[in-house]
Amino acid sequence: MPLPRAPRRALLVCAVAAALAGCSVTGSGSGSAKKSPGTPGSVRSGTAPASVAADAGRSVVDFAGTAPLGADALRRTVDRMRARAGALGLTDVSVEARDGGITVTGRTEDEKRLTELGSSGRLGFRPVLAEEAVGATPTSTPTPSASSAPTRGRAVTDGLRPRTAGSASASAVPAPAEGSAPDAALQARFAALDCTAREQPAAEREAPAEDSVVACGSDGGGSGSRARFILGPTAVDGAHVSSAKAVNDRQTGRWVVQLDFDSVGARQFSELTGSLSTRMAPQNQMAIVLDGAVISAPSVNQRLDGGTTEISGSFTRESAEQLAATLGSGALPAPVTVSGVTRLPHG
């Protein structure tokens, strides 16, 4: 199958509500759902557990592990979710282990953020091998040659910008060879990927970092259209992000998320961007992948040193803060899903 040609512009962050849930839309429980109690993801009214005092305007969000949670994994996941709540400035929030799961109690007005405390937060930076707008007819991608001049625009696109200059020595990263083509099995997965689905296949979301994957994201054109990608192995793992914070860019008035890498991440990031900057589109793009979904895929036209960068896109203050809290705390030790939301009666 010939590979599709990518547009030259950067892909901006996908719709905020989708981006923070892995580019799938999950209900926050703001409607009047009539699912029976205990149905995963349902919203119901009820009485507070014995350990939770009934209060006006409060919600109880129950999380269950995607696999049985051991005592250590449960404890560490609770600690990580508490750290996220603190980073978000959520007040009067309780995060407790209960009956092999996790229960979060807080104000109903914060219900959406309470559910997002359970986002896996698995971040990775992967090279883009191919990109195609959903519904587009595939076209062949040119194979770069030694005499080919790389496609260049701005030094770095809006999706990714350096914050400081510095010197970071390069180290090898698992990026594909120039002009390499995905194998037949990977192309078949790409052709079959349904980016209109609510969730992406678990096999892709949970693929090992050393594997190539297919993924969905926004086309970044402002129309809300979707795109699908073939991505190479993870070149920089989110575990090497030492800090993340939401900042309002005074020059543009937009909210961005600033990232700082540790020494290992800084070396890998420098090498990845240096390698991508010499390639033709779409292989000069770097996918920022959160929980299996591409939240941004900027073109890179220069090496980015110094161990710091920022992600920009269509962020609101709330969504930027949510992403920063998720990335800054690190991925959850064990993946969890919302098993139910209970809105307590007014006291």
pLDDT in tens, 72-108: 999 999 999 999 999 999 989 999 999 999 999 999 9
Residue 24 has pLDDT above 90, yes or no: no
Find the mean pLDDT for residues 156-171: 39
The answer to whether 281 and 8 have CB atoms below 8 angstroms apart is yes
pLDDT at position 192: 92
Closest among 319, 320, 324, 165 to 259, alpha carbons compared: 324
Instruction: Using pLDDT thresholds of 50, 70 and 90, give the confidence band for residue 136.
Output: low
Residue 112 has pLDDT above 80, yes or no: yes
Instruction: Using pLDDT thresholds of 50, 70 and 90, give the confidence band for residue 225.
Output: low
User: Within its chain, how far is the Cα of 130 from the centroid?
Assistant: 19
Query: In this structure, which long-range contacts are made by residues 89-96, counting pairs with CB atoms below 8 Å and at least 24 apart in sequence?
Result: 90/114, 94/52, 96/51
pLDDT at position 167: 29
Residue 73: helix, strand or coil by DSSP? helix
Find the mean pLDDT for residues 232-249: 95
**Spatial separation of the C-alpha atoms in residues 14 and 316, rounded to whole Å:** 12
Find the mean pLDDT for residues 231-236: 96
Find the mean pLDDT for residues 189-217: 89
Tokens of 126: 């992967």
Residue 42 has pLDDT above 70, yes or no: no
Instruction: Using pLDDT thresholds of 50, 70 and 90, give the confidence band for residue 28.
Output: very low
Find the mean pLDDT for residues 275-287: 93
- 215 forms bridges with which residues in the sheet? 229
Greater confidence (162 vs 96) lies with 96
Greater confidence (309 vs 50) lies with 309
Residue 48 has pLDDT above 60, yes or no: no
Residue 267 has pLDDT above 60, yes or no: yes
274-286 b/e (C-beta count within 10 Å ≥ 16 → b): bbbbbbbbbbbbb
